[in-house]
Structures are given as C-alpha cells and as structure tokens.
Structure 1
Amino acid sequence: MDHRTVYSTLEAVCVETIAALTRLESLRCSDATARLLVTMTHIQEHGRAVEGLVTGFAAVYHHFDFDPQTPGNGYRTLVKVVHSCILHIIQKGRYIATNCGGVFFRVEHNAGEMQTYCVALCQLRALLYLAQRLLGENQHGQLYSQDRELSKRFVKEYTSMHKACFYGRCLGFQFSPSLRPFLQTVVISMVSFGDNYKKHQTRLGRAALSFFTSGKYVVDPELRGAEFERITQNLDMHFWKTFWNITETELISSLASITSNIVQVNLMLTVPGEPLVLPLSSDPNLSVTVSPPLAHWGPGPVHMRLISHSLRQGQDSAELLVFSGPETPLRSLTVGPRLQRACLSPWLLVHFHGGGFVAQTSKSHESYLKSWSRDLNVPILSVDYSLAPEAPFPRALEECFYAYCWALKNCNLLGSTAERVCLAGDSAGGNLCITVSMKAMSHGVRAPDGIMAAYPATLLTTDASPSRLLTLIDPVLPLSVLYKCITAYTGADSGSVQQVQQLDTLSALGQDTALLLRDITQGASSWLQSLLQEKPAAQASTSRATNGLRDPTPHSEDVQEGPREFPEGFEPLRSGCLAEIRTPCTPVMNNPFVSPLLAPDSLLKGLPPVHLVASALDALLDDSVMFAKKLRSIGQPVTLTVIEDLPHGFLSLSQLSKETQEASNLCVGRIREVFVSPPL
C-alpha cells in the first residue's frame, strides 16, 4: 500500500472511530470509553506527524540500497515497521467504529489494546526522529554514524525510552503472523525463566519451575512486557548463555530431533591441537605450517560435528573414528555390513554456528543442517568453537580457521574430495565465515570457493545505524543484549577469560533428569501460589503498566536532561526500568578480523564470492548492506538478498513456518551456486 494511502486511511479511520465513540459516550459514559476516545485523538496526532517524516525518508531511502533490484536498508525498515503498526491500528479502529455500540463489545479490552499500539506508534515516531538525525549527519549512502558522540546519545535515549509495549500486547506485530505465537512463547519462557534464574536449582529444574510460573505472563501482557524490559536491561551474560543453551538439553533436543531429517552420520569429533602442514595456494610445491589455536591458554583440541545424509567412504574409517571419542553414541553413525557406502562427494560444506559468540553449538543448529545435507547431498562439518566471555577473540577465530584447514587436509575422511568448499554460517557464524577466509588468504592457504553468510555481524562496534534503532523493539536482539555479546567477544570484560570445558550446556543432565520430578512438584506448588497469593501483586503491576500507557505524550518533568533529540512539543514515553547499559569500548572492536566491514581493501581483495542473506527486520541489516557495498566497490563478487517479515536467527526457525522454510531454501540455493558455478 502506498504510504499516502496508509495515512489517508488512518486519518479517515480515526475520524470515524472518534465520531462513533463520541456518540457512545453520550449514551453511556465510562472511564474506558473516555480513555479510548483520548487514545484515538493521540493516534491521529501521531499519524499526522509521522506522515511528514515518512515522506522525507521515502524521497531518499533508495540511495542507501545495495542496488535497484535489492531494496533494503534500515531507513526502509523503519518506515515498514511504522506502517505495520498503523495497519494494525487501522484494522482495530474499523472494528471499534463498527462494533462499539454492540452489547458484546468489550470497551476495557479494546481500550487497552489500542492504548498499547498508540504508545508503540509514539515510540516509533521517536525512532524516526533519531533516524532523521542520522540521515542529516551521515555522508551520502553511509548507514553507520561516524560521530561517536551521536552514537552515545542514542544509547542514552535507548536506556531511557519505554520499551515494554513492544513485548506485551503488540509483541512481534512487525513479523510474519505465523511466527507471532512462537515469539510470544519465547518471551513468556524468558521472563518466567528470569523469575527463577537466581533460585538454587538445576537448570532443567528452573525450566520446569518456569513452566508453572508462566501463567501470569500469559494472562497479563503488560506485566510480561515490563518484566521482559527489566530482564533485557539488567540480567547478566550468564543468564543469556543459560537461557539460550536450554535447547542443548537432551530432553529438548530429542523433541526437536523428532521432526528433523534422519541422517546416516551425525558424529562428534575432537581433533587434538597439532600443527598442520598444507600446500601454499600460490604454489602447491611449497607448504605452510598452520599452528593450532593458541590464544589465552595455549594449544587445545577443536570440537566438530560431522553430518551426512548418506554414509560415504571414509566416514566410518578407523582413521576418523579415532577422533570421535568413547562418549559418542553408536546411533551417531549408521553402519551395517550390507549398507553401501556412497562415493566421495566433490563438495564439502564447513559451517560455523550463530549465538552471539557466547552461546549454542552445532547441536542447536543440527536440525536445518540435516536438511541441508539431504537437499545438497553433501557432508557438513560444523565447528563447535569456544565461546565468550570465557574465550574472547581471537580464540573462536583460531579454532574455526584450524578446523577449516584440518578439513582441507582430511577431506577424504569426511566423505569428500573437497574440489569445491563452501563456508556457511549465520549471525556470529557469518562473521567467522568472512574472517576465516581472510585469515586463509593472509596465511597463503587455499581460500574457500564461496561463502554463504546469513544475517552476519560485520561491524562489532557501537556505531549507530537506522537498522540498529530496531533494537528498541526487537524481542530477539535488544541493544543491551547485542552490547553484552560484543563486550564478551571483544574481551572488554577480560577478567572472565579462562579455559573452558567444552559444551557447558547442562552436562550434568543425568542428575537434572533424576531431580526433575522433585522440581515439577515444587513448580506446581509455586504455580498455585502465583494464582492464589500473587494475584494482587500482578494486578498492581498491571495497573502501573496501564497507568504508564494512559498518556502517550509524557509531561516535561518525565524527560531526561540533556541535549534534545526531538522537536519541541514531543517526547517519547520514558521507561520506569532504567539501567546503565555498559557500552563496549576497546580497540579490538576495530580489528578487521573482528569487524570485517572495517577491513582495508587489501585484506578483502581476493575473497571468494560472498552471498549475503539478510532480513529486512533485523537490527544487523545495515551490516550486510554496507559490507555488500564495500565488496562491490573493490570489484569483489557479492550478492545480497533481503528477506521480508522474518527476525534475526530465522534459520533456527526453519521448521516453524512456510516463510522460514523458504528462507532456508534460499540459503541452500546460494550454497549450491558456490558448488556448481565455474571457478573464477
């Protein structure tokens, strides 16, 4: 829908709804009707102001696209999100105008929902003003701010602005409708888990207890939003690692494996850290020695997972199985005397998983990797690199580079001749795909034949960009969490560096399972208490949240002191949950092997074809757009695909909806291009 049509429709709906509510108020006046009437007036005001802002962006945002065939950048996304919010308001407003006089019309419910969207529109209006400031101060076509003071002011605005409305009633309004129930489940699980995070229980026990305490967050979306805002701004990195790693428990991963594809090889490998000798790419008669990972605590093993839809030659060899270890279950390798081994594949896919450099493993991602192995008919080696903050940069990069070199040298054991090798990864893994390739070129080792990086992090700094403004509303990647990941990986919190035992993901699962019945009993008791005893507290919290939504334009005494980022007469709603977000500040952030967007041309020249698959609604969208532009400017082969309506991390959601499956299939198509396209 054309943006002019959107705002003319909004204006007409506001006029119609205000007229209908005015008639209703004259017949049966109530506090809820009066609030709804005031809310519609505020929406009308915000809509008129936002229209002018959007018109300004629409006139110029095409200058920031990668090319005319790939419309996508943070300015476009902000406009898209605003329109999504307005379309919800239009739909709800039409319903109210038509039904407000009916006997079964629930005035209180509709007033609460419309208030929430009104506040969301108010906060989005504030983001448009901040983006307008970026647009005015950045160079032509530049998405990231070069002004560090401006970026600091944006962080200050983020910490003070109200965000809870985006995690309550209107949670995920900007995403595909098929994903909203899942996002609601994730947010409810997270705030429930946060309730029990500090209690002395097993982690599986905390998950069980969280199940029983989640009821109040289901029935009270305002309470859920306020608690999610508190958690994202105040809980430490250990909480996020623990929560994200719940998917690593055998109980949950077993449930996930029910719906995933069956593969004949799913083998964990532990490769000792020993020097490797590989031929030089420029002259195969000469060789180069690749050292094992050394950063922080010296040589150590590298852990990997081999996934193959078909059992191929070498994959059940004694030479490979010596790396599997005694803990590998027999079902990881399907072997039988009559099972025919397929021949070596000419292709090999090396995968680096996402998780913000701080969480998850190949196990978290094996569901879509199994599908990829089937669809591409290729063996996949997924690397379980050491995680921050215990293992900050450059440990993960060293381990991934070493694993890549080991795969080249031992490809026949992995079921491949490695005639064509592709690197693939998402988010943090996408960053590692790029930096491993840069490291291979700098060492004179054969570079991969191509890269598929899904929503990669290419700039691990605190620079502001229009897409990073989305962290105010994003349930997957809030700014405070993004900064925690950057701080952890860059080693800004250097006191936490220590040698880690691989896979700190509920390793004591047997004990946890034995105690599960006890925890469920305790959880059931707490759940009953939450319904019987905590009801007044929940109601009080809901009342406070609702009172905060009554006036979307707060009074001047609520506004923080300092330079104004907004025009006179407007202020966004401020948060009642203030927190001082620790802004990462270390020279390592500017290291080209941390932030490849900052790499000099000499380090990027010679990279293989890079296929970037980004999401329009991802806070890291501008990372992909600017990196694609940079590669194109120096003549490097690059493609950029921008997918609509999906959040950051959509590959891990590939089995949840048709849209996420199609996005995963697109990534498979890009990988296939690497394998079948002729060499450069």
Structure 2
Amino acid sequence: MTDTEYNVNLNQSECPKGVTENDEFEKYMLNLKDLCKNNADYFSHDNTENGQRMYLSFMAILDNMESLDPKVQRIKSVMHVFDFSETVPGNGFRSFMSVVESAIKYAIELNIGIKQKRESMLFRKTSSAKDIESCSHLLSSLDVCLKHLETMLEWSVDGNLFPNEDHSPDELLTYAEDINQYCFYGRCLGFQYCESLRNVLKVISLAMAIFSEAYYSQGSFVSKATTSFLTSTKYVSDPELRAKRIVNITTNAGVDFCKAFWFLSENELMNQIPSVVSSSVAVSKLIHLPTEPLSINFDGNEINVPIPSSYIGKKSVQVRLISQSVHEGMIGEAKNNKNTKPPSSGLLIHCHGGGFVAQSSKSHESYLRDWAKALKVPILSIDYSLAPEAPFPRALEEVTYAYCWALKNTHLLGSTGEHIVAAGDSAGANLILTSSLKCINLGIPPPKGLFLAYMPCVVNFVPSPSRMLCMMDPLLPFGFLLRCLKAYAVPDPNQMCKDFAFDNNSDTESFEEITESDLQELQAHKSPISETSDTLTYGSLSSNLNEENEKDVDLNQCDIEKSEKYVSDFLEKYVLDSDTETEALKITAPSMKESTSSSSIEYSFHNRVSTFVSTLKSHFNQFMGNDENSKPSASQESVLPEMTDTKIKQDFKFTVPQNPYMSPILASDDLLKQLPPTSVLSVELDPCLDDCVMFAKKLKYLHKDVTLDVLTGLPHGFLNFSMLSKEAHEGSLLCIKRIKELFDLPKKNTDESLT
C-alpha cells in the first residue's frame, strides 16, 4: 500500500535478545504448569460445585498452555524482523507476546494465592472459582488471537506489518466475532498494563458502564440518578455483568455515546484540576481566529492559505495559548507588565487527541502545562472542529489555517518564530503530520520538527497485529475505534445535508461590520464565563497592540456606553462560550440590532447571562442524556439493554478513501522526503503501534532524520494520565526530551527537565 519496499527475509535467524526472552518465557510456562497441576490434583478430590469448577479451570489452563506454546514459539522466532531497529524493538507481534506473558504472570499469581489459602478456614472458594475461571477464559481468548496472528504472519511480505490489498478489513471483523471479549473487561481487566494504571482503568470502565445506564434510560432526572446509583452497586460487585455491559456498549452504542462519555472530562470540575494539580502558568487563554483571507510570503512568493469552509461553513478557529511566562508582544497582555519577558525563540504548535470526535485543548491542559514549564516556550493548541459534524477534511483545513496564522503572527504569541515545532497525540498527531504535508504541497514552510505520539497514520481498520489489541483495550475498544474512524473518514449523508443548511445561516460575514478599533478594544477583555483563562477574538490588526495599552485615554459616559455596546455585542456573537467548547459544540447567538441606549446595553447583558445559563443547562442535559439531539433512537434503546445477534461486520462495512491527507503513510516518497526531523513515540499496547512503526521505517528508508520510542506498560492516550501514574509521567518527560531535541536546545536543559 506504499511505494516503499523493505527487503527483509522472514527466515532470518533469531536475534540474541529473542533467545533470552524465550528462555525467560519458558520458565514462566513451566512454573504455571506445575502450579496448575498441583492445584488440579488438590481440587480433583473436592466434590463441591465450586471445587469441581476450580478443577476444570485448572485443567483448561493446562490445555490452553499446550495450545499456546507452539504459536508463541513461531511468532517469537520472527517478530524481530518487523522491528524498527535492533535497539528499538516494537511491533504488534511483540505486543501480543507481551500480553501473553502478562497473562501467564497473572495466572501464576492467582495459582500461588489459591495454593497458599486453599486449606484455610477463611478460603473464599466461590470467589476464587470465578477468578480462575475468568483466567482460563483469558488464556483461551489469547490462544484464538495468536491463531489469527499466525494468519497475519502468512500475509506479511518483506517485513510489512500491513497486508496487501488482497486482504480487507472484513477479515479482521470476522476475527472479532471469534474472540471472546468478555474476559478482557471483567475480573482480568487491565492485567496487561503497569500496576499504577490498573485501578484507574477499572474506574474508567466502571464509569462507562454506569454512564451508559443513565444515558440510555428513560424518565426524569431523579429516575436517572436513581438508576445510576443502583447500577453502580451491581457493576462494582459483579465484574462479569460489567464486562457484558461494556462489550454490549462498545459493540452497539453510536458515536454520540462515545462523544458524550469522553466529554465527561470537559465538565467544569475536571477543568479546574489542571490549575490545581499541574504546573502553574502565567497564560492560558482562548483565542478565536476569524477565517479571513490569509497569505504567506515565502521566497518572494505570496501564497494564499485555503480558508476552512467544508461542511460547517466559514467559522472561527479556536486556539489556546499556554505559556509559563508572559512574553513581549503576547496578544491581550500589556507591554508595561513588570514580569514580561523578551519574545521566546521557540513556539510549539499542538493538536489534541480524541479520535477526531471528542476532547479539546482544555482536557489536555494537564500535561501541556508541564510541557510549557519544561520547554519554556509558548504553546498554541488548536481546538479543531470535531466529527461527525465536521468530518474530513474540515479539521485538516482548520489546523493548516491556524498554523499558517501562527507562522505569520508569531509576534502576537510571544515568539520570534525562529524555531517552530509541532506536536500532537493520537488524532492530533495525524492532523499535525497531514497539515505539514499540506503546507509542503502549498509551498509553505512546515514546522522545523514534528513530534507524533501514538499516531494513526492509516485511517482505516486494516488487519494488522496491533489493531487486534483494541479487542482488549478499555480506553480504545474495538467498536469505539471503528466508529471514530467512520465518523471522520466517511461523512454521514444526512449530516451533510444538515451542515449545508447550517452553512446558509453562517454569521461569519458579520466580521466586516466590526472595525479594527473595536477589535483592539476586545484584546484585554476576559471571557464573561471563565475566570481561569481569557477568551480573545483576533481580527485583522494593523496597529501595535502594546502601543495601545500604553496610551492614557479619557472617556466620557457616551464613549463608555458605546464601547460597552460594541464589546457586549461582539462577545455575544463570537466570544460568549465556555473555554472548554469546540467549534462542533458552539451555538452562535442571534445578532442584536444596533443601539446605544443604556437599556439596550442592559438587555445585552441579561441576554448574555441567559445564553450562559442555557448553555450550562444544555451541557447538563447532555450529561444526563436529556438532550433531544443526543437521545438514542428507539432502535438503540432496544438494542443496548440486551446483546443482539447482529453481526458486527454488517454495522461497520464502509469504504475509506485512499487519501494521503487522511492516511499519511500513503503519501508519495517525494512528499515525505520534504518533511522536517520527526520524532515518533508509541506504546507497546497501542492499537496504532504498527502505524507508527511502519511510518518511522518508511522515513528511515528515505534517509530522513527520524526517531522511534516504544514505551511498555502504558495505554493509548497515556499523556492524559500523567498526573495519576508514575510511568505515564515518565512517558510525558520523555516526550519533553524529544521535543527539546527537535528545538535543538542545549542538552543540559533537557537533562535537567528529566530530573
């Protein structure tokens, strides 16, 4: 599927490291077999129901081990062929070997615990029987997974982790039907991850099950709250019921549920956590960029930047400026601030993850604050519009436009623009890369470096080894991943009709009614909602903002009323929104008639407050599932309470366009050769790991400056847990180190940030 070939022989001899790992793995296998035989012999004489259940489970584990062993040996013998390099091992085949090893260690712990307590009067036989049964199901499911991995090995040609066009995503969907997913979301949930994240992932999975009950239930707020309380008890005490609910949700719930659940991290309480727990910053403000004509002068050529216009019309692009310090020239900051520092030589452009359908710069602020402190450069995080309301290429258009605006207006961001690096995670990494390719194609200079974390560079459900990890991923489960890809890559025809109708009512032309002086007046005004960050709207400013701040101006009452009227009307129209909203969620208030009377000003104020209250009510209703637009259809209501027999491939049969601006690994070699130095980071248990490995290998083949890091024990999206897990925090520090290397900052500073 690419025009780059890799001459790698699958029959190469094992690397020395593989032999060492094999010896260690054999020790675990033998240890587990001995323990299972010992426990099976003990419970073979126990004629109680639970005793016989345990005996059969131990025997099932022994059978599974016999079946697993040859598959493991075969995969281990060739998995090193797919690595990026000898020093950077990592690919989907290795990941499954790690998962199998974690499962065996988990089984050993269970067996040891049962062996030590089985003769005690306090031995909980019923609970232990359920635990060991779940473990036997886990190993059985992994055995089925390895069977499919062997098939993928046969499909692999010359070390390519992606099969050729003869094998379609339908084949992987068929595999999904064969795998028992319940065991991955019940008692064994999180067994493959580091210890510090297991309880966190269990809480998230529990929250998903409870939230789904409220989301799909009927009735009033009180009845929904009662339902949530009652179901929380049963899901805590019954892991099997929780697993059934989670698999049911991830199989049958629509993308609206995915968005609603992931947007729980956007509520006001969660938004306050970064300011309390994370590093303090001097600047964290929203800026709305009106999509006006924009051009970039490069090498004497004037290049016009495409204005975002697909699906939802010409809407302002929202960005967030984060900086540890106030730098000279920063938009909305007075020049005479005694703490103002000179412009930074660097600027980091950032795009958040969220599967193209959820989250914002605010929900990623927890680690962005730490980055701003360590990097000591301003960070501009782009809140692109979200699918399915704004599918491809809308987000790409907005990210490209915002980058070009930043490139031209670095002085307003407190930077000289000497070193501009771009970074993103997950969907945001995809947009950072594709926007860089777009800029290269337009003749606009891309960033000086790219940092891409756990990036999907094939926006399709290709049957690769790492993609199968989503069968057991509590954060990015199989159904959610498919729905996110479909929402972004395959627009809903009904949504397209709605979007075009919405575009006819676009209010972006109203920017022409606001003068430059009015826009300048707005720069120092805080958002009427947020007390923790500023919300600014940037227009076409030709004068120096800082000079305006230095002037002493005497205003009479008429001038004040006129100024307040302009500010009120403009805030009403473009700025009155929570700093956690994204373009896909905004509701533009109706424009007001011109008036300079005090009663009009009072009406405007009350109208703004009313809009704010309505917005809060809307968000609250969405959280509780009361929103008319987000209510599930009758079919969904009947589907979700009970698992249906509908085949999953019937729901997810769709064709994704082969577009390099959607799936950047499809880009031509000539285009990829023009990319700047690139640092790719992924995790061993990431469904997108193979994407990262293959993309890094392709850049390496093209003799590009590229690095690849593969972290162990962490899930996709680990950056959002950097405050909760030691390993996730260490992963974030490695991200900082790689970004500093792209900025080409002194190594001394890099080392200091990691201590």
TM bucket, shorter chain: 0.7 to 0.9
* Cα distance in 2 for residues equivalent to 1:191 and 1:469: 22
- Distance in structure 1 (CA, Å) of the matches to 2:314 and 2:436: 22
- When residues 204 and 581 of structure 1 are mapped into structure 2, their CA distance, relative to the original with a 3 A threshold, is farther
Match of 1:143 among 157, 161, 165: 161
Instruction: Give the aligned residue type for 1:627.
Output: F
Match of 1:106 in 2: 124
Distance 1:595 1:71, change over 3 A: same
24 and 299 in structure 1: CA distance in 2 versus 1, 3 angstrom threshold: closer
Task: Say if 2:639 is the partner of 1:582.
Answer: no
Does the 8 A contact of 1:492 with 1:584 survive in 2? no
Distance change in 2, residues 1:308/1:9 (3 Å): closer
2:412 matches 1:400: no
Aligned to 2:37: 18
CA distance in 1, matches of 2:693, 2:454: 10
Match of 1:165, SS state, is helix
Equivalences for residues 339-378 of structure 1 within 5 A: 339-378=338-377
Counterparts of 1:580-619 in structure 2, within 5 Å, are 580=649, 582-583=651-652, 585-588=654-657, 590-619=658-687
Question: What amino acid sits opposite 1:671 in the alignment?
Answer: I
Instruction: Say which is worse superposed, 512-521 or 214-223, in terms of deviation.
Output: 512-521
Q: Distance in 2 between matches of 1:256 and 1:8?
A: 45
Report whether the alignment pairs 1:311 with 2:326.
Answer: yes
AA aligned opposite 1:10: M
Residue 62 of structure 1: CA displacement? 0.5
Per the normalisation by structure 1, the TM-score is 0.84
Structural mapping, 1:409-428, within 5 Å:
409-428=408-427
- What residue number does 2:268 align with? 250
1:446-465 equivalences under 5 Å are 446-465=445-464
For the residue of structure 2 that corresponds to 1:400, the secondary structure is helix
2:677–2:706: 8 Å Cα contact kept in structure 1?
yes
User: 1:289 is matched with which residue: 289, 304, 307?
Assistant: 304
Q: Aligned residue for 1:74? A: 92
CA distance in 1, matches of 2:702, 2:620: 61
Determine the structure 2 residue equivalent to 1:675.
743
Distance 1:182 1:654 in 2: 12
Superposed displacement of residue 104, structure 1: 1.6
Distance 1:29 1:361 in 2: 57
Alignment CA distance shift 1:138-1:13 (3 Å): closer
Give the whole-Å Cα distance in 2 for the aligned partners of 1:124 and 1:391. Answer: 38
Q: Distance in 1 between matches of 2:232 and 2:338?
A: 48
1:635 shift after superposition: 1.7
Q: Percent identity?
A: 37
Partner of residue 55, structure 1: 73
Q: Is the 8 A contact 1:120 1:166 kept in 2?
A: yes
Structure 2 residue 693 is the aligned partner of structure 1 residue 625: yes
Larger mean CA deviation between 434-443 and 102-111 belongs to: 102-111
Quick check: which has more Rg, 1 or 2?
2
Displacement of 1:160: 4.5
SS in structure 2 of the partner of residue 648 of structure 1: coil
Return closer, same or farther for 1:214/1:376 CA change in 2, 3 Å cut-off: same
Larger mean Cα displacement after TM superposition, 627-636 or 416-425:
627-636
Distance change in 2, residues 1:24/1:457 (3 Å) = closer
- TM-superposed CA distance for 1:502, in Å, is 3.9
Counterpart pick for 1:648 among 690, 711, 716: 716
Normalised to the residue count of structure 2, the TM-score between the two structures is 0.76
Are the equivalent residues in 2 in contact too, given 1:617–1:644 (CA < 8 A)? yes
**Counterpart amino acid of 2:346?**
W
Q: Deviations over 1:83-108 (max 9, x none)?
A: 10011111211222233122221111
Distance 1:655 1:400 in 2: 28
SS at match of 2:187: coil
* Structure 1 residue 359 displacement after superposition: 0.7
Give, in angstroms, the shift of residue 127 of structure 1.
0.7
2:529 aligns to what?
none
Shift of 1:494: 3.2
Is 116-125 or 210-219 further displaced after alignment? 210-219
Q: Which residue of 2 aligns with 1:556?
A: none
- Give 1:669 shift: 0.7
User: How many Å separate the matches in 2 of 1:449 and 1:205?
Assistant: 55
Query: Which letter does structure 2 place at the counterpart of 1:128?
Result: L
Matches within 5 A, 1:457-536: 457-497=456-496, 498=499, 502-503=582-583, 510=613
Judge conservation of contact 1:21–1:97 (CA < 8 Å) in 2: no
Return the letter of the residue paired with 1:653.
F
C-alpha distance 183-31 of structure 1, shift in aligned 2 (>3 A): same
SS of residue matched to 1:363: coil
Q: Is contact 1:14-1:40 (8 Å) kept?
A: no
Contact 1:461 1:486 in 2 (8 A): yes
Instruction: Note the C-alpha offset of 1:37.
Output: 0.8
Distance in 1, matches of 2:621 and 2:163, equals 53
Q: Tell me which amino acid in the other structure corresponds to 2:314.
A: P
Alpha-carbon separation, structure 1, partners of 2:96 and 2:465 = 7
Q: For structure 2, which runs of at least 5 residues remain unmatched after alignment?
A: 1-19, 504-580, 588-610, 626-640, 747-755
Match of 1:432 in 2: 431
Q: Which one of 241, 245, 248 corresponds to residue 227 of structure 1?
A: 245
Partner letter of residue 664 of structure 2? Answer: P
Instruction: Describe the shift of the 1:177–1:312 C-alpha distance in structure 2 as closer, same or farther (beyond 3 A).
Output: same
Partner secondary structure for residue 362 of structure 2: helix
What corresponds to 1:566 in structure 2?
Answer: none
Q: Distance in 1 between matches of 2:413 and 2:223?
A: 38
Q: Is the contact made by 1:654 and 1:660 (CA closer than 8 Å) also made in structure 2?
A: yes
Q: Classify the secondary structure of the residue corresponding to 1:362.
A: coil
Alignment partners' CA distance in 1, 2:230 and 2:117: 37
Q: Distance in 1 between matches of 2:219 and 2:284?
A: 32
Letter in structure 1 aligned against 2:37: I
In the alignment, structure 1 residue 96 sits paired with structure 2 residue 114: yes
Partner residue of 1:270? 288
